[in-house]
Amino acid sequence: MNGTERIVIEGIGVVGGFGCGISDLSRALTEAAFSPGTFDLSTGSGTVRIPAFQADDSRLVEFIPVRTLRRIDRFSRLALLGSHLALADAELPEAERSRLGIIIASGYGPTGITYAFLKSFINDGDICASPTYFANSVHNSAAAHISIQLGAMGPNLTVTHFHLSVPSALATARLWLAEGKAQRVLFGAVDELSELIGYVRYRTRDAGPAVPMTPLRTEMETSIPGEGAAFLLLARESAARCGYCALDASTTGCPPISGIPLPEPGLLVLGADGCRESGRRYAAVAQNARVACYTPLYGSMPAGPAFDAAAAALMLKGGRVFPSPGADFRDFPATVPAGGDPVGGDRISCLTLAGDEAYGLTTLGKLSGTTGECAKEE
């Protein structure tokens, strides 16, 4: 097995505030239309309506019968939907499923069912705690549900590490494939906007006047919470039946004094999500680079970088840059290409900044050669 063989993204499955499926994401990226919904949040002083990018998981029943879903909570439902969409997009034969490795990355994990578990004993006493809710609140339950539904007996990993979750888990996905630990890896990032997370965000972020989400206006707080699932089916190039692009590297860590080592020009997709503190850091890192930012299409969440990777995959396949939503880049010290501009290189990198000066950088590359078309537009 060739240790330097490229890793290919064979299929993409996404659900979020923009819709459900790779076609919806592609359309949202092309139109750059900013359209969050709303979320009614209980607070100590009554219900507050906040803007939010909510995901609709109703298409899950196209893949899994209602009966089977009865004990499965929303976080796992989003994960199951993302996973099935990616497999359908790649047209992966059913016979291949049993050998899949599965990796889930989530910033906060299944907070909805965790809160439900706490409520079960807060309300009715310790002896009335729900075992079903507890079992589902264990962080690897989504990965378990996917492996059970698919009959996938390969390795199984879940990573929960706030904003480093996606780049960190993608590094392990690449390693598993390079080592031959799995033939294919179904990687997915999931975050749900539960009542609990909504409330924590409400208490920890400045709630300014309702404005459009403009992550590249770094002196303002404009983040809007999002949720959803973004899944990538990964395979070694020699085994891949088709592909959007290659996943060439994924790194996490702290930068040396010289700064974050950004790959040579192509395009840098920023995970800036309207949070003021990180906005300034993104501006400092991205100085003089060629950048784009798509978080206003799916919202602020640690799973965001996986959606950025999906956008990068579409751009590498199509050869054209999507417009960054929101025209207001005036303060941002970098070039922001217009929609339709050429990608301008063979590589796109996705940058995420986390606490403690830590960062994550995922680099995707254009496929050369003859890896064919199998991506299905829904």
Partner 1 sequence: MSGAPIAITGMGCICAAGGNLSDSMEALLRGERHPAPPMRFASDHPIPHPVFEAVGFEEPPDLLRTSAFALHAAREAVADAGLDRKTLGSLRVGVCVGTTVGAVMSEETFCRGYLAGGVPDMAPIHRILRSNPADVIAREFDLSGPRQTVVTACSSGTDAVGIAGSWIRAGLCDAAIAGGADELGRITYIGFISLMITDDSPCKPFDRHRKGLNLGEGAAMLVLASERVLRRSGIRARSFLLGYGSASDAYHLTAPRPDGAGLRSAITEALATGGVSSASVAFVNAHGTGTPDNDRVEGRVLHDILPGVPFLSTKGYTGHTLGAAGAIEAVFTAACLEIGKIPANAGFETPDPEIGVTPVREVTTVEGTVALSESLAFGGNNSVVVLGKA
Partner 2 sequence: MTTVEKLKMILVEDLNLEELTPADIYENAPLFGEGLGLDSLDAVELIVIMQKRFGIEIQNLDEGKAAFQSVHALASYIEGRLKTG
* Residues in contact with partner 2 by the rule CB under 8 A: 66-67, 69-71, 124, 127-132, 135
Which of 54, 83, 114, 371 is close enough to bind partner 1 by CB under 8 A? 114
- Complex with partner 2: residue 67 or 330, whichever CB lies closer: 67
Give the number of other CB atoms < 10 A from CB of residue 243.
28
N-term to C-term CA, the chain: 35
Task: Check binding of 306 to partner 1 (CB under 8 A).
Answer: no
Site string for partner 1, 119-138 (x = CB under 8 A): x-xxx-xxx-xxx--xxxxx
Cα distance between residue 11 and residue 188, in whole Å: 11
CB of 104 to partner 2, least distance (A): 21
The distance of closest approach from Cβ of residue 171 to partner 1 in the complex, given in angstroms and rounded to an integer, is: 6
Q: Which is nearer to partner 1, 49 or 181 (CB)?
A: 181
Least distance in angstroms from the C-beta of 132 to partner 2: 5
The one among 54, 111, 352, 362 contacting partner 1 by CB under 8 A: 111
Residues 338-367 that bind partner 1 (CB under 8 A): 355-356, 358
Closer residue to partner 2 in complex, CB, 40/124: 124
Pick the closer one to partner 2 by CB: 23 or 130: 130
Can you tell me which residue has the tokens 């690449």? 174
Q: Which of residues 276-305 bind partner 1 (CB under 8 A)?
A: none
Identity of the residue numbered 146? I
Buried b (16+ CB within 10 A) or exposed e, 10-20: bbbbbbbbbbb
CA distance 75 to 137: 10
Min separation Cβ 311 and partner 1, Å? 24
Of the two residues 76 and 324, which places its CB atom closer to partner 2 in the complex? 76
